[in-house]
Chains A and B, each alone.
Chain A
Amino acid sequence: MSAPTVDADPAVLPETLWAGRSRMLMIQETLIGPFLFFCALVTVVTTAGIVLVLGTEAFRFFQMPEVSAVDFFFGTKIEDDPVSPRFGLLPLLWGTFVIAFGSSIVALPIGLLSAIYLSEYAPRRLRSVLKPALELLAGVPTIVYGYLALLLVTPVLKRLLEPLGLRVETFNSLSACLVVGVMVIPMVSSLSEDVLSAVPRGLREAAYGLGATKFEVSTRIVLPAALSGVTASFILAISRAVGETMAVVLAAGIRPQITLNPLTSIETMTAYIVAVTNGDASEGSAKYQSLFAVGLSLFAITLVLNILSGLVLRRYREVYN
C-alpha cells in the first residue's frame, strides 16, 4: 500500500507521495460538463422539433382550399371524397374518448384496489413478489394485447353476448377497452402503491391508536393523505390510454363513427394516423396533411394530461413539508 506505516502522522508524510491529478483527468473534467449538457439537450431539441414540425404542417393543412378549421374541429364526418373531402375530428375524438373512458372503468378501480392491497394488507414477502409481477404486465408489447383482444377477448364476447341477441362485430370498442384497461393497470397500481406507502407511518399509528380498523385506516386516513398522488396516477393512465395505438387498431378497427354501442367498430385518433400512413394518401394531399393536424391535437391532449398530473403530484409533495 502507499502509506509507509499505518500510524504515521500525515503532517510529516513527504510531499513526493502526492502526485496530484494527471493532465488527462483535468481535460476530462472540463469536457464532461458540456458533454452532459449536450445529452440533456437532445431530448429538449427533439421535443421542440416535433412540436415545430406538427405545428407548421398542421398550419399548411388549414391553409388548404378544401379544408376549413371549423369543419375540422366541429365536423362529424370523415369522407375520402376526391372533390370535397371532409375531415371532421369529432368521430376520432369520440373514439379516443370511448377507449380512455372504457379502459379507465377497468383500470382505475382494479389498479387502486390492488395498490391498497399491496401497500396496506399484503405481507411484506408476498408484496415483494406481487409488485414486480404486476409491473411485468407493463412490459408486454402492446401489439400482443391487440391480437389477444382480437383472437381471445372478442370471440369470448361473441360467445357470451350473441346468445342474448346482441351482435358483436369482429372489431369492437368493448374488447379494446378491456385490453387497454388491463394494459394500464400497472401504471395505476405501481404509482399509487408508491404514494400510499410514502404516507408517514405515524399517521397510520395515530389512527390505529384511536381504535380504527385496518380498513378505516386504509380508506379514511392513508388514501385521502395520498389522494393527489393517486389522482396523478389516474391521469397518467388515462393519458396512456389516449395515446395507445396498436392494441386499439387491432381490436377496435378503423370505422370513424359517433356511437354509444360498444359492440361496434370505432376509430381513434391514433388508429386514424395508422390507417392514413398505411394507405394511399400522396404526399402533400389534404388527407396526408390531415395527419399532422390530428397528431397535433393528440399531442395537445396528452400534454395537457401530463402537465395536469405533474401539477397534482407537486401539490401532494407540499403536504408533508
Chain B
Amino acid sequence: MSPIMPEVKAVPNVSSGGAEPLPAGTDVPSTAVLSTRDLNVWYGISLALRDITIAIPRNQITALIGPSGCGKSTLLRCFNRMNDLIPSARMTGEITFEGLDLNSAETDPVSLRRRIGMVFQKPNPFPKSIYQNVAWGARINGYRGDMDELVERSLRRAALWDEVKDKLNKSGLDLSGGQQQRLCIARTLAVDPEVILMDEPCSALDPISTARVEDLMDDLKSEYTIVIVTHNMQQARRTSDMTACLMLDDGAQHGHRTGIIAEFSPTDRLFTNPKDPRTEAYITGRIG
C-alpha cells in the first residue's frame, strides 16, 4: 500500500437507496440510510481503513465487530464526521447519508451531528443536572417546543424516567454507570436524530445494565437506525440484524494497522455460516 494519498474523487450519490451493485461477500437490504464506497481513512501517513464499502439499512441494528485496532470505532466516527476533531485524520472515497455527500467540504459537520447522534464507550454525562443533561443539546439546537415535555419524553424513551423523575435537579454524575449511559442515550434522543451510533456502549456496564441497554436498543430500532461497535460477539448476535466483521489487512504496510471489511451479512448467517474464513476464525475464537 502506498503511503501517498490516492486522488479519489468523491462522486455524489444521487440515489439514497444504495441500489448500486456491491462487491461479492456483501448482502444488504435495499434501503440504506448511510453508505460508503471505497472509503479510506488516514491518520497522518498511516492508513487506518481501506476500501470500506458498506450500506447501513434503515430501522435496523448493524453491528461492527472485529479484533482490537481494526478500525471499528474509526469507521463509526466517519459517519458523523467525529474524526474531524483529530487534526491528522483524513478520508477519501464516498460516504453518503440520505443522499448527502458527507465527505464534501460543503457538508456542515455541526448540523450533521444533530441528525446522527452518538453514544460513547464510557458514560459521559455533563457535570450538570439530569434535566440539563437532556435539555442542553435541544437548547443549543434551538428547540422551541415545551422543554419539560421533551425531557420527560426522552427520559421515558430511554427507560430512565421512573428512576429519576423525583431527582431531575440532581447531578447526572450521581447516577449509577448504567443509569448514566441511559441518560446519555436520552440526551441523544432529545435532539431527535435519525441515526444513533453506539461505540461499545456496554463495555463499562455490568450484565444487568447491559441487558437493559440492549432491550432499549431493540425498542428504539422501530424509529431509529442504530450502528453499534462491540467487542462482545454475543451482544452482536443478540441485538443486531446485520453484522460487519472487520479484520486487519495482512497486506498492510509494515508497522501500520489497516482495517478492512472481511464480511458483511445478516447476523444469523454471519454467525452460523460465515463465508469468509477469517470471519469464521474470529467468531469461533481462533483469532482476535
* Bound Cα distance A220, B126 (Å): 10
- Contact segment of A183-191, A202-210, A230-238: A202-210
Q: Which residues of chain B in 101-136 are interfacial with respect to chain A, using CB atoms and an 8 Å cutoff?
A: 110-114, 117-118, 120, 122, 124-128, 136
Residue of A nearest to B122 (CB): A202
Q: Is B140 part of the contact surface with A, judged by Cβ < 8 Å? A: yes
Q: Which residues of chain B in 210-239 are interfacial with respect to chain A, using CB atoms and an 8 Å cutoff?
A: none
Chain A nearest CB: distance from B174 CB in Å? 11
Contacts of A203 in B (CB 8 A): 124, 126-127
Contacts of A123 in B (CB 8 A): 87
* Bound Cα distance A204, B80 (Å): 15
Residue of A nearest to B190 (CB): A210
Q: Is B141 part of the contact surface with A, judged by Cβ < 8 Å? A: yes
Q: Which residues of chain A in 203-228 are interfacial with respect to chain B, using CB atoms and an 8 Å cutoff?
A: 203-213, 216, 220-221, 224-225
Chain A nearest CB: distance from B79 CB in Å? 11
Chain A nearest CB: distance from B192 CB in Å? 11
- Across chains A and B, the number of contacting residue pairs, with CB separation under 8 Å, is 69
Contacts of A44 in B (CB 8 A): none
Contacts of A200 in B (CB 8 A): 124
Contacts of A207 in B (CB 8 A): 126, 136-137
Q: Are B87 and A124 in contact (CB under 8 A)?
A: yes
Chain B nearest CB: distance from A275 CB in Å? 49
Q: Is A31 part of the contact surface with B, judged by Cβ < 8 Å? A: no
Report if A221-B126 is in contact (Cβ < 8 Å); known contacts: A210-B114, A211-B110: yes
Q: Which residues of chain A in 125-165 are interfacial with respect to chain B, using CB atoms and an 8 Å cutoff?
A: none
Q: Is B72 part of the contact surface with A, judged by Cβ < 8 Å? A: no
Q: Are A205 and B85 in contact (CB under 8 A)?
A: yes
Q: Are A220 and B117 in contact (CB under 8 A)?
A: no
Report if A208-B82 is in contact (Cβ < 8 Å); known contacts: A124-B87, A202-B120: yes
Q: Is A319 part of the contact surface with B, judged by Cβ < 8 Å? A: yes
Report if A209-B80 is in contact (Cβ < 8 Å); known contacts: A203-B124, A221-B126, A319-B127: yes
Residue of B nearest to A227 (CB): B127
Interface string of B196-221 (1 = CB under 8 A from A): 00000000000000000000000000
Q: Are B127 and A205 in contact (CB under 8 A)?
A: no
Report if A206-B120 is in contact (Cβ < 8 Å); known contacts: A211-B110, A225-B127, A319-B173: yes
Residue of A nearest to B133 (CB): A206
13 A–B contacts from the bound complex (CB under 8 Å): A206-B120, A206-B124, A207-B137, A208-B82, A210-B137, A210-B141, A211-B141, A212-B110, A212-B137, A213-B110, A220-B140, A224-B127, A225-B126
B residues with CB within 8 A of A: 80, 82, 85, 87, 110-114, 117-118, 120, 122, 124-128, 136-137, 140-141, 173, 184, 187-188, 191
| 8 closest residue pairs by CB, A with B | A211-B114, A210-B137, A202-B124, A209-B118, A211-B113, A206-B124, A225-B127, A216-B140
